[in-house]
Structures are given as C-alpha cells and as structure tokens.
Structure 1
Amino acid sequence: MRPALAILDPGFAATIQDRGRVGWQRFGVPVSGALDPEALAAANILVGNAPGTATMEAMGAGLRLRVDAESATLALAGCAAPFRIESAGRVLSASPLRAVTVHRGDVLRFPPPKNGAVYYIAAAGGFDIPPVLGSRSTYARASLGGIEGRTLRAGDAIPLLRAAVPVAPTLLLDASFEAPKSIRVMRGPNADYFTERAFEALAGAPYTVSPASDRMGLRFKGEALDRLNSGDFPSQGTTAGALQVPPDGQPILLLADRQTTGGYPRIATVIGADIAAAGRLAPGMAVRFIEVGREEALAALKARAEWLAALPSRLRAAPQDALTSERLLGENLIGGVTAGEM
C-alpha cells in the first residue's frame, strides 16, 4: 500500500498549499499558496522540511485523518488548538508547534482554528504530489495543483514521500500565531483617487471581516471610503495585500488566490511584514489599519525576515521527563509515542 494520509472528513475547507506559483502572473496565473507563509514555514521546520514545502492548509472545523503508513512525523502550526490522536484504543492530545510521530491506523481529529483563520499540517519528507507550474499549491478556480486542483474530500489519500520515519528526539518550537488586532499599510498606487476623508476613515474605527471573504480576498465592513472619481478605472496588475475599493466603498484586501488584474482603485497596500498576519483574519474579526511610511515598512520587513530565518534556532528538545503519559496528558501534549525529526 502506498504510504498516505487518508482523509476521513475534509472539514470546512482543506487544501494542499506551499509558497505559491511565483512568476506566472504575467500569463494570467494567480500565485495562490499559503495564506500564512510564516505558519507554513514553522510547521515544516518542526519536521525537518524546507520552509516552503507543501502542507495541508485547513480553514475550519472537522478535519479528520487516518495514517496509512508505517509511521509519519507530523507538525501542526498556525492558529491552532491541540488535536486528538486515537491510537490503539487510547485518545491522546497533541499540542501545536510540536513534532509528533504517528503510526498506521492512528486517527487524527483537528478542532476549529483558534485565535485566527488557518492552520497547517506538515509531514516529514513532504507529500508525493507532482508540481504544476513549479508549485503544488491548490488553485481551485482553475483546477491547478494539489489533489486534482480542488479542496480535499473524504476518501482522498494524500501520498507521503516516506513510508516510515526513524525515531528521533521530540521537538517543539518557541513561537506563536494569532490573528492581528491591527495591520500596517502604506498609501496605495491609486491614492489620488480618494478623498482625504477616506484616509481618515480607514485609519479611524476598526473594520470587520465579512463572511463573504475567502482565499481570494477579505471583504471588510465599516465606514465607506469615498472616491474623488466614481467613473471607470483601468484594470491594473494586483499585488498581495492590495486594499481595493469597489463602488460601494467597502475595502477588499487581496490574498493568495487574488486575480492577476483588478479594476478597482487601491487606496492602500498592507506592508510586507504584515501580509502573513493578515491571512490569519477570520470572518467576524475586527482590525484597525495603521498608516506607516516607507522607512518603517522596510524596517519591519527586515525584522520579520530575521525572525523567520531564526526559527530553526528556536527549536527545543522536549524535557526528558516528558515521556510520562500523566504529565503529557495534563499539559495537552502527546503521549509516549511521540518523536520529532530534523
């Protein structure tokens, strides 16, 4: 039998995602990729993969998997709560940001995201899925990448590159991920299409994420952003974090599955350091937009890049006495069958 993770219940919206399909926008192909590339990297680092390796991305409740391999080392990262492992008649609890080894027949149950919208499940060695245009990311609107270019379904088998993993020390990662209360922005390339009152409104009261949001973009509800000119606007290329404003004045923040061109003016752009955090926002959450200048944006991007590069140095071995079921279960960690791999 080919080693795999079997999907028993796909939950709300689970897909395969990596860093995305970079370099194809000029041909009309969206980038796609992880909504939260920082959490993607964290999950992969825990299991010894390259940071951009393809993982499962889950956006809601109900995901349930079965291990159809001799063993596999997995890690959960992002806006995640502890998940359950049903193993040989026992039910164990495994915390996020910790590498765990599971075995054939184990069933994993994942709760809804915690303090945000999305989480990632990485497997040591990665998934045996062919790339499409250089990426394994799923772009469902065009049926590209992942498993048949769609969200996962019950009965899918996500093939693993490794049939088994060696025993290794249990590892955990000192990091945290949650949706932001504020996002920093710079004035967009079409700022002159808006009144000064629009910028005051954007930086004033919080905006709430609408249930109509998806991987393509976050739709916000709040004070309408007034345009100086309500006429036609020429279509332009899009960028991650662009804050477009349609005629109703309610902004849309473009995310991973954004279209390659757009016909709405952009009042602002989320700075590079905050794009991953923006991808954690879930419907119903409120967020403030804070305008910053170029120098602050560059300094923040440098600091975030340094933090991401230092993640491997934040790996820690679990305490030697952690392999006692009483302590592990008391701390919502996995039992004595755990291991990590570098």
Structure 2
Amino acid sequence: MIEILTSAAFNTIQDLGRNGARRFGVSTSGAMDPVALAGGNALLGNDDNAAGIEIQTFPFRLRFQVDATFALTGADYVSTLAGLSVPPWWCKRARAGDVLEIGTPRRGARVYVTFGGGLDVPRVLGSRSTHLRAGFGGLDGRTLQAADVIPVGTPSCEAGRRFDFGAAPPDVAIAGTGSTEDRALRIRLMRAGEYDLFPEPVQARFWSTKWKISARSDRGGYRLSGDKLILDAPVEMRSHGVVAGVVQVPPGGEPIIQMSDANTAGGYPKMAAVIQADLWRLGQATPGSFIAFNEVSYEDAVAAMAPVNDYLAKLRATADLYRAL
C-alpha cells in the first residue's frame, strides 16, 4: 500500500490506455508519455501496461506503508526518498515508512512513478487509466488527493540485492529525439484527411510557424498559438473519428493537437497527425513552450517506431540482468 501525502490538481493513475472502447464514445486516456510509463515498468520487471502515477502538478509526496520497489521516469525532476536524492530514470527499493518527494521538473512536464507489481486498482473497460470526464478508472475516476491509500500488486519477479540502478532517458539514448531548433521542439507529422482543403499559402504557414503551446492545454488537447490558418470559406463537416496526435483546425484558425483524453469524434478539418514515435515527446512539452513541425511520409513514420521499441527492449534486458544480481 502507498499513501498520498501531498498532491496538487490533475495527478492521476494511468496505464497505457483503454483500447477498443472508442466505438462507445470512450477516449483512450492512458499516459501522456507512454515511453516513460513503459520504461519505468521495464526497470521493475512489470508488464509494460502496469498502472502507475502520472504527476503533472508539483510538489508530490507519498509514503510507503510496506516495503516496495519503485521507479521514477519522465521529466528531469528533483526527488528524494527518506531524504536521500533519487536520480531521474532510476529504480530503488523503499522501506515501510519511507517518504518519496518529487519537486517541480527542471525540464519536461510529467513524472511517472511505477511500482513493482503495479497499482492494484480495478480495471474498467480493460484499463486502470483514470478517465476524468467520465469519472471512472484509476481511483474512483478522480485525481489523487492527500490521504488516499492505494494498493500495490504482487511483483512478478523478485528484486535482487542490488536493486538500485537506472537508465539513460530516451531523449538521450534515442538519436535525434532531443532535437530542437530556435528553442522549438521539432515534432514529425504526416498530412491528414483534409490537408488539401487548405490553400498552399496556409499549408506553408502551418509548416513554417513556430507554435506556442497555450496555457489552455491539457490532457485532452494542446491548443497552439501562432499564425492563424484560416480557410477562404467556412467548411461544414460531419463529425468523424479522431485519435491522439490528430491536428484539427477550428474556425478561429489556431490548431488543436488531440492528446490522450481526446474526444472520440469531431468535425473540425484535420490538417495533420503527429506520428506515434513523437507522441511521448509531445507529452513532455510544457504550456508556454514552442514546437515546430517537420513533414514525414507514412513509411518514415512507421520506421521511426523501431528506435523507440529497441530502446525499451534494451532497457528491459539490462534491467533483467541487474535484478538477477
């Protein structure tokens, strides 16, 4: 069991998402940075999809009520366990009574805490992820609060005596993923269904603009500020399915990137879509920061997942060796 001591708004329990329920109007939810969640679980020997805590408002504090193993991944944070520093992308063993404290990240938006055995909350529609708008999943479908007590599952493997190790974060280990230009995070996109509705000058503006992530952004979507992408005449469309990464352009001309809690359908024209290999990077971008877009082909988008999958596979293999010591 763990007890939450301090938690500001919007910190939730998440796994990799609720797949297969979009036909019922239920969004996927799940971690905004799935690589960080899967990486933390790999360090612990969990299934990639084990539920952990997504922290996006700080400080955050919890107490271990029993001995347990845990990992911290995601943003570049400052953290202590029982008063001793815990580096980023690291896993350790905690003793009953130890307090884990996580401060505001120096870089990045979200920190993930995973636990040996995962958080043992009920599955709803196949997932333990919190769906805030619907009010289910996670812990009673809500954000975490002080005094919450959450059960931890039974680890699938025993930790070795040297359970104190870490890994290079993906933006360091995966070539090209930390790329920025003119202080803007470069994100790769493909054209989407209604791209050709926009005149060529508007298309060029979309690719050349340095977009600012608005303070009105959240897990549902990132609203972008910059040059407006206005059509020559309004377009009325039937609602169509959307998924995380789709870039829609409402009549006001400022794009919205759908994120983990995206609606399942919408009628705004779809300009482009963030490739899967870059969604985790976008999930670590903070409101007020800048992003810019590079166009890639479908073939390039598929190939871009190989380094991400290789990173997680190597991390899991290395962690297995450490735990065996």
Q: What's the % identity of the aligned pairs?
A: 38
CA distance in 2 between counterparts of 1:129 and 1:278 reads 28
How far is the alpha carbon of 1:315 from its aligned partner? 3.7
Number of the residue aligned with 1:200: 204
**2-structure distance, mates of 1:82, 1:95:** 7
Partner of 1:229: 233
Query: What is residue 169 of structure 2 aligned with on the other side?
Result: 175
Q: Residues of 2 paired with 1:251 and 1:154: CA distance? A: 36
Tell me the SS of whatever aligns to 1:30: coil
| Aligned equivalents of 1:263, 1:132: Cα separation in 2 | 28
Q: CA deviation at 1:167?
A: 5.2
Deviation digits for residues 99-142 of structure 1 (CA, Å, limit 9, x no counterpart):
11111111111011332111110000111111001000001100
- Write out the 4+ residue segments of structure 1 that deviate beyond 6 Å after TM superposition: none
Note if contact 2:77-2:111 (Cα within 8 Å) is conserved in structure 1.
no
The letter of the residue matching 2:32 is: L
- Quickly say closer, same or farther: Cα 1:193–1:40, change in 2 above 3 A: same
- Conserved in 2, the CA contact under 8 Å of 1:49 and 1:124? yes
Residue type of the alignment partner of 2:289? M
SS at match of 2:81: strand
The aligned counterpart of 1:97 is 89
**SS state of the match for residue 5, structure 2?**
strand
Unaligned runs of 5+ in 2: 173-177, 180-184
Task: Give the equivalent residue in structure 2 for 1:140.
Answer: 132
Alignment check: 8 A CA contact 1:78 1:177 kept: no
Aligned to 2:72: 76
Offset, 1:314: 4.3
Give 1:284 shift.
0.7
Alignment of 1:192-341 (within 5 A): 192-315=196-319
Alignment size in residue pairs: 313
CA contact (8 A) 1:204 1:288 kept: yes
Letter in structure 2 aligned against 1:171: F
CA distance in 2, matches of 1:12, 1:94: 24
Residue in 2 aligned with 1:323?
A: none
For residue 188 of structure 1, report the CA deviation from its aligned partner. 0.8
- 1:218-251 CA-to-partner distances (Å, cap 9, x unmatched) read 0110111122431322110001200011111101
* Structure 2 residue 115 is the aligned partner of structure 1 residue 123: yes
Alignment of 1:7 with 2:4, yes or no, is: yes
Q: Distance between the aligned counterparts of 1:141 and 1:147, measured in 2?
A: 14
Quote the RMSD (CA, aligned, Å): 2.2
Corresponding position: 1:27 with 2:21: no
Aligned residue for 2:261, secondary structure, equals: coil
Helix, strand or coil: the match of 1:198? helix
C-alpha distance in 2, partners of 1:177/1:141? 31
| Alignment TM-score, normalising by the size of structure 2 | 0.90
Larger Rg: 1 or 2?
1
Q: How far is the alpha carbon of 1:80 from its aligned partner? A: 3.0
What is the Cα deviation at residue 317 of structure 1? 7.5
How many angstroms does 1:303 deviate by?
3.2
CA contact (8 A) 1:126 1:160 kept: yes
The answer to whether the 8 Å contact 1:73/1:341 transfers is no
Q: Counterpart of 1:124 in structure 2: which amino acid?
A: G
SS at match of 1:8: strand
Equivalent in the alignment of 1:325: none
> After alignment, is 127-136 or 219-228 more displaced?
219-228
2:209 aligns to what SS in structure 1? Answer: coil
TM-score with structure 1 length normalisation? 0.86
1:16 is paired with a residue whose SS is strand
Letter in 1 for 2:96: R
Distance 1:204 1:212 in 2: 23
Structure 1: give runs of 5+ residues left out of the alignment. 319-339
